[in-house]
Structure 1
């Protein structure tokens, strides 16, 4: 029988022998991702954590000793018994001395595609059973959207599951307008694995059907249909201004759908007063917008008229809300679509993320499988996920979030499992300082990442290749048994066994395991899945048969989707989960928060860093730090597939030929990117796929600061980005609001991101 493994990049088949397995694409995937084919590469194995390890000063001096040496001193490898005892003793000490609200449970990242061996579920269950912990809310990817969208239309997860499907778009859409593109490289992934990659085929079908495709973006290669695409070069961070200009044309020329605005929306009149300038004295005309966004006013007017006369889908990329005032482009996208009156029609309306994940635009069945119960958290304190450095550096300080005011807790113990904050966070020099504050940092990790190197206790975890699990992704049309392919590297243990051993030290083993081995949990999950899916008329074999056959493929049961179709047809019978039950162009609730940086309706706020700011005189390039093409975030960066894209062992930075020439730079040069926050080195790639005034350095290169100069040697853009909240509403990250300059590198220390720390066992 065929063996399968599921990862974020796809469902894969396993061939070869037990001693020499190899991963190949799932034969049903029309566009498999190359990323996951390298999960067994020896380069990855060489970067693994093989034994439990403790930072030397912490081991010798105790908790809180020499925290400034985190990331700068050797580790001492210890037995699992010793590591479990030390970790359990820290949990007990902190609980007794400071209470559970002094423990932060960090688990941000994609962890595993398996439903049981999912580090976030495991660490949260363990900490809840131990009395609770401070948690984070939302995500770096979507924090601003997660907070604003429920006030306006619906929550982000619900919207993702019922986006209009690609087949409906190809049949009905005649004008596809994308703010920030539709980056197919991003949609290589889905949380539970991808059986059939759909984005490239969906875009191709849209082009073949004759739809006009417009990419409004500072880069051109993030929307490819194999047909004509009109590239509109826009100044980064100014999308809301252009949308307002489009809206003014629709309103002033009577092209807006007043009937839909009256029947399905609330607050149009309040927004209209802002749009026309009645409320603030500034009409948001196409000419006003052109001065801000750099797109000619005549082009804005022409596009608005085409949008009104076409079946138009407006897509906004997730990247746009990872910026100063990131709520505004999402809110304005929905408002613009409401003015066109096509929301709920096949091929029309709005989308918040085609190209962000494979599931967006899928027509597969919306089913669920169980996940590990996490219990109840007895600690009320939380932080927005991107405010971790603020929390550690400013205990007792206050912050606002979604209309409330809260206090940062005083964290003494950080436990991280399933994620790498030194990838996701901004201003990594500041995060380094913040990581010197806790008395103890414990990390469950598979690889010697920057986060593991800055821990006090490092616990080696297995990868999905080394354990049995159940693979399932929402709207992905498959359910897979993931049989272990290779034995664990070194002494690595499953997170379940790691926490089980520590729970045993605390007298909590029975509460954590409920008397079940890992295999018992898998059988339990499967039996519940089988029962649940039977209610939908889907037959799933018993556990033993499923484990043997390896896959349940749901593809033939797919169905077309039209987002908000029922709401359009009968808003009274199918109201939205907003206070009014309608689309809230003006939100009384948001207005009541009294925030200076988020009004009751979508508005233009100049970003703190953009090419229209005074700071652009010193730093005249806008840094775009998008998702990488050859990995997910920082995962698998040591793989040969990721390394093959580097230039001289460093990440590539893309730059327009005229910008490079003005600085005396040539393709392949080692260059230094810099601003007042930091410096990093990268390899230069000169290309016309980025507009003038823009530099593009994708995220995910493992953070590698030079201990002597402080310069990041590997090309991590978060050495430069600002650790600044998007707004007082969401507190989301603002990574894309970042100004820099680039010059020839005078000092070029060798990048060493994958060299093991001193004291770690190699292989």
Structure 2
């Protein structure tokens, strides 16, 4: 049977209801190894088999700071009792504290599928019930999402259809400079599902066409070896300074595109005054940039010359904006591309997020596909997604956000469905303290991961293998049928079934389900999509689609709104959706906010934590907590592929041999990574792929604290977010600054504690 996931489409082999293996499809040129690893996790001991309630909560112990979330035993209950507990608690919180006391942001990827979209199901359910406090933006790209509408206009994600695609790059571009790299491991995934992987072959085509690549990153392997990229190791969090040094070199040598800057941009003169030091007495020249970034003055000068004299493309990866002042490298990369002379030319100019998802740079988009109908949320309150701990710890506090003043609401009930905050949030010990404050935490989960263990009520959900659906990936030009492969494990139900039962108790089942079964919903959404795209001429009927498993959507054709090519040709006729109609090198709007950490033009701000900070005397290594190669975020950390990557059951941490030698660390040793926020164990991998002074520990290992709830307790498994700071990158976006963290690493010679991340809590019946 066909199986569509965030990491590709596969064939599932089932024998007598048991999942035997998962095989790649023949038409996928670069299948992800995560898929076959799903078999190990399908029915392992970590599955949540029955509804469970935390013992302390069930016994009515005080639901405040001294509760035992994370360390308590659970009592398994019937579905009828579980539905009663959740529905009664929703009624109580709404009646006593108001609808805004219910938090339903539930940020996370969940699993692939158009109908069984966990966040869509949850938000529909909560909105119909009176409303909820929502979250805004993403942990992945919060700074980018807020800054780009000011600079180039449009929806935060509209840049995806406005930047060059890989085939255009191969045909027209000569030089690609990638800030933050182009790690192929990231391109194995795509939100919503994926038919087949294309990025690797498209990158190869670019190299075969003669395109040269420059990797500006602390990690050499952030670019595939077959690209033969030039590596410029850069001190983490200094990309903005590197770009400013390049820009200054262009300006003083007259290499910048004066015509494009004059006709298609606003504010360059004010930015140039900053660049040459008229505003602060500091010219941002190549020598200045070299001192900050570790890239030589000559290399910066040479790169400026090549960018200005060749058909060039500046790429910026998402990682560079998950840091202190993360808006700045995004904004500055646009300005640098505008200066370089290739902005708005075929296959050249600027783009973001290449290789972070397979569809990025593959296609400019896909036609709209019908999804679970949204319901307007009656509650206007929202929080920036990465400020959940602040909200729980400091209700009533006022914060800045994109020119607004937000008052953080008091949250009494957290309903989490389709995400894992104990994976993606920073400073997990702080989050643990915050997590004790609400009255109740309800979680839908398939496995006893950390989020489930820190809940009060855990409702077991079916996995993507255990329900009917269809996949429609981000920008992926395919729909993939997802017939149920096997029956749900234990007493698991789908999210939709759970919400339908709750809606029935709360009196709005008809509004929620619209009297459709789940398969009827899948058919309805497909046929709605088919009708909107033109009927038989666009897509086959549902029965044919379901039988054949995959169908191709009609392609989108340009021109797309906000085209830089159109802007270059005639800025008056084709203005951008910005206040000026042009690229805002200086933003009057941002300047009016008066933020001391985000001026009206791109600016170098020294990070709070970086290798030149005073703190580096105590913690001399910069931690890169990037995306893993062996799983999607924390998904399927208990899968076969992720487990095979562990070292003595711990997540691998990569360290430069020179840094390892000075600490007596050898390859394969278990080490302790630590700072003032926390510590974790990991398995050492020695490699000169990371520059000296840097260690790399991927996100997504299920957090495994020795003493849950005790601040600073050792993590046995290797989750880097015990080390990262829960600090907004600026007042503009309030995004996370996970990649601004200093640590040290030492040998761990004590007896190794057993990893218990994949063990269920104590369960009573």
TM-score (norm 1): 0.97
**CA deviation profile, 1:427-478 (whole Å, cap 9, x unmatched):** 0000000000000000011111111101100001111100000111132121
CA distance in 2, matches of 1:704, 1:583: 47
Whole-Å Cα distance in 2 between the matches of residues 741 and 366 of structure 1? 45
Residue 736 of structure 1 corresponds to 739
Aligned to 2:196: 196
Q: Secondary structure at the match of 1:226?
A: helix
Matched, 1:544 2:543: yes
Task: Indicate which of 716, 720, 727 corresponds to 1:713.
Answer: 716
| Aligned-residue offset at 1:591 | 0.3
Determine whether 1:466 maps to 2:470.
no
Match of 1:758 in 2: 762
1:629 and 2:632 matched: no
Which piece of structure 1 moves more, 341-350 or 412-421? 341-350
Q: Which residue of structure 2 aligns with residue 45 of structure 1?
A: 44
* Aligned CA-pair RMSD: 1.8
Please give the per-residue CA displacement for 1:226-281, whole angstroms capped at 9, x wherever unaligned.
14211101100111001000000000000001100011111111101100111221
Contact 1:161 1:360 in 2 (8 A): no
| Bigger mean CA deviation after superposition, 219-228 or 70-79 | 219-228
Is the Cα–Cα contact under 8 Å of residues 64 and 438 in structure 2 kept in the other structure?
Answer: no
**Does the 8 Å CA contact 2:265/2:582 hold for their aligned counterparts?**
yes
Residue aligning to 1:149? 148
Question: What does residue range 68-87 of structure 1 map to in structure 2 within 5 Å?
Answer: 68-87=67-86
Deviates more, 1:105-114 or 1:358-367: 358-367
- Name which of structure 1's ranges 745-754 and 588-597 shifts more when overlaid on structure 2: 745-754
Q: Which residue of 2 aligns with 1:31?
A: 30
Q: Give the Cα–Cα distance (whole angstroms) in 1 for the partners of residues 759 and 69 of structure 2.
A: 16
The equivalent of 2:336 in structure 1 is: 336
Counterpart in the other structure of 2:9: 11
Deviations, residues 631-654 of structure 1 (Å, cap 9, x unaligned): 000000001110111100000000
- Which stretches in structure 2 are left out of the alignment for 5+ residues? none
Relative distance call for 1:28 and 1:241 in structure 2 (3 A) is: same
Once the two structures are superposed, residues 71-122 of structure 1 have per-residue CA deviations (whole angstroms, 9 ceiling, x without a partner) of: 1011000000000000000000011101011111131111121010011001
Q: Distance in 2 between matches of 1:550 and 1:196?
A: 13
Task: Answer yes or no: is the 8 Å Cα contact 1:653–1:697 preserved in 2.
Answer: yes
C-alpha distance 336-514 of structure 1, shift in aligned 2 (>3 A): same
Question: Are positions 1:723 and 2:721 aligned together?
Answer: no
Cα shift readout 1:326-384 (whole Å, capped 9, x = no counterpart): 00000000000000131121121011111111111113762121111221111111110
User: Secondary structure of 1:37's match?
Assistant: coil
Distance 1:420 1:571 in 2: 44
Cα distance in structure 1, aligned partners of 2:475 and 2:15: 32
Moved more, 538-547 or 334-343: 538-547
Compute the displacement of 1:62 (Å). Answer: 5.9
The aligned counterpart of 1:649 is: 649
Match of 2:355 in 1: 355
Between 1:57-66 and 1:28-37, the stretch displaced more is 57-66
Aligned ranges 1:528-607 → 2 under 5 Å: 528-534=528-534, 538-554=537-553, 564-607=564-607
The alpha-carbon deviation at position 172 of structure 1 amounts to: 1.3
Q: Does residue 438 of the first structure (1) align with residue 441 of the second (2)?
A: no
**Inter-partner Cα distance in structure 2 for 1:347 and 1:675:** 44
- CA shift for structure 1 position 67: 5.2
Distance 1:560 1:410, change over 3 A: closer
Listed one character per residue, the Cα deviations across residues 294-317 of structure 1 (whole Å, up to 9, x for unaligned) are 111111001100111101111111
2:39 touches 2:640 (CA, 8 Å); kept in 1?
no
Shift of 1:16: 5.2
Q: Which residue of 1 aligns with 2:323?
A: 323
Residues 400-440 of structure 1: CA deviation (Å, up to 9, x unaligned): 10011111111110000000000000000000000000000
Instruction: Answer whether contact 1:54 1:76 (CA < 8 A) is retained.
Output: yes
Q: Distance in 2 between matches of 1:548 and 1:199?
A: 28
SS at structure 2 position matched to 1:35: coil
Aligned partners of 2:537 and 2:400: how far apart in 1?
A: 46
Displacement of 1:527? 1.5
C-alpha change, 1:231 and 1:300, in structure 2 (3 Å) is same
Shift, 1:486, TM fit: 0.8
Give the aligned partner of residue 96 of structure 2: 97
Q: Report what 2:213 is aligned to.
A: 213
CA contact (8 A) 2:37 2:642 kept: no
Which secondary structure does the structure 2 equivalent of 1:40 belong to?
helix
Change (3 A) 1:559 1:166: farther
In structure 2, what is the Cα distance between the partners aligned to 1:28 and 1:556? 20
CA distance in 2, matches of 1:424, 1:270: 38
Does residue 666 (structure 1) correspond to residue 666 (structure 2)? The answer is: yes
1:558, CA displacement in angstroms? 9.2
Give the superposition deviation at 1:18.
5.6
Whole-angstrom distance in 2 between the partners of 1:101 and 1:39: 38
Q: Sort the Cα spacing of 1:262 and 1:702 in 2 relative to 1 into closer, same or farther, 3 A.
A: same
